[in-house]
Homo-oligomer: A and B are copies of this chain.
Amino acid sequence: MPILEIFSQGEEIVTGQTVDTNSAWLSEQSVALGFTVSRHTAVGDKLGDLIALLKEIAQRADGCLCTGGLGPTSDDLTAEAVAAAFNLPLEFDETAYRQIERYFNNRKRPMPATNRKQALLPQGSIRLDNDWGTAPGFAVRAGRCWFAFMPGVPSEMRGMFIERVKPLLTERFVLNPSRLVTIKTLGIGESDIQQRLDGVSMPDSVQLGFRAGVDEVQTKLLFPANYPETDRTTLTEQIAARLGDFVFGIDGLSENTGNLAAVVDKLMRVAGKTLAVVETASQGLLAAKCPGATWLKSALFEQSLSALGQRLAVAVDANDLAATGVRLAKALQAQNPTDFVLIQLYEGSPAQFQDKDRTIILYNTLLTQGSLQQNRHNLGGPLGRKQNQAALLGLDLLRRHLQNRKI
């Protein structure tokens, strides 16, 4: 397998002000493509360090993915370092310049003179158009190694990698990619998942792994290149079945499902339904997770339960949030002509909410045409985690309803 290295440039990385997430993301992508990733390196903005490192890598690796240092300012030195390391003088790229100009024109802002520098590319390099920001990237061969240079801003880097770099890599290298399947769940922890998987017979060639993130827990299956497709599907389905309704999406089998909000977005579009939401614990975050969702007609946050009751002209009872949720849902549906109504309430003082060592109790009520569903969850951890879990669990109730309807 060809050997690839990842290289990040940025003073903010070596000084620890930024955690370098680009390297992990690029490594995952590269391993999935069939590369062996042997090394990550990060250096700051000292030209000498950059040149030395580029020369080392050119002798050591078959490919190198580089991020950062393409900005307009004086501490963005990547192109200059490449020019010096490999004796490839910088040349003005007319097309790159016009793209940078267009970026500013589209935003109706004048283009600062310093941005001209971003159109200087090392001789003989391939320009990588940046549709996601101002700095074009570039790719160039030096020594044994094929280098691709991308911006350090994660969203720009990801767009450029997928659209520009990946096709060039698959063109230039003979790759036998392994296949990664990711089963995504919400509301069940890593150790519970492991217990549920007890007794599933895993072939030696398949690597099983877990990753717990803030928005989901992932169960990962890495299949070798020659693993039969039907066996891959069978094993994945067997494991997903063990995890049941906790599974909201599977990536890597057919199309990728995206995160929970994307799954709900798709289900709502297909169902052709509309939704109105009342958020309390998540304080706007549930709605905020669905940008561009035209099915979301309104979202209301109220700090106090009594103000919420007044607004919807409903009697509220802090000691019976289940019944209060139903009354609020009916009142909101009467007021707002939407197909679904979701009411999120919680039991707990502001002090409880803010204390990472105390829990609150979340009450979700989903009123649809002809059905009413409610659930309760204990939410713990820091304020931000409680807020995020509340938003996700509301979306997940909607997801479960929409998925079960289809059966």
Contact = CB atoms under 8 A, between A and B. Distances in A.
Interface in A20-56: 20-21, 23-31, 37-46, 49, 53
A interface, by DSSP: helix, strand, loop or mixed? mixed
A371 to B, nearest CB: 24
Contacts of A73: 190-191, 194, 210
A296 interface: yes
Contacts of A356: 131-132
Interface stretch (A233-241, A280-288, A396-404): A280-288
A405 interface: no
Interface string A71-112: 111010000000000000000000000000000001111001
A357 interface: yes
Interface string A153-170: 101000000000000000
Interface stretch (A136-144, A299-307, A319-327): A299-307
A382 interface: yes
Given A39-B49, A292-B350, A359-B107, A112 B192 contact: yes
A62 interface: no
Contacts of A115: 191
Contact of A191 (B15, B72, B296): B72
B24 A20 contact: yes
B38 A75 contact: no
Contacts of A109: 189, 378
A19 interface: yes
A226 interface: no
Given A209-B75, A383-B292, A16 B39 contact: no
A300 B301 CA distance: 6
A12 interface: yes
Contacts of A190: 71-73
A382 B155 contact: yes
A259 interface: no
Nearest to A301: B299
A267 interface: no
A28 B24 contact: no
A195 B359 CA distance: 50
A155 B290 CA distance: 24
Contact of A297 (B12, B13, B291, B302): B302
Top 7 A-B pairs ranked by shortest CB distance?
A16-B27, A284-B287, A284-B284, A16-B28, A112-B191, A285-B288, A284-B288
26 contacts: A12-B211, A14-B38, A15-B31, A16-B23, A16-B26, A16-B27, A16-B31, A16-B37, A17-B28, A18-B24, A19-B24, A39-B42, A39-B53, A73-B190, A73-B194, A75-B209, A106-B358, A106-B380, A108-B359, A112-B192, A155-B382, A282-B288, A284-B287, A284-B288, A285-B285, A294-B303
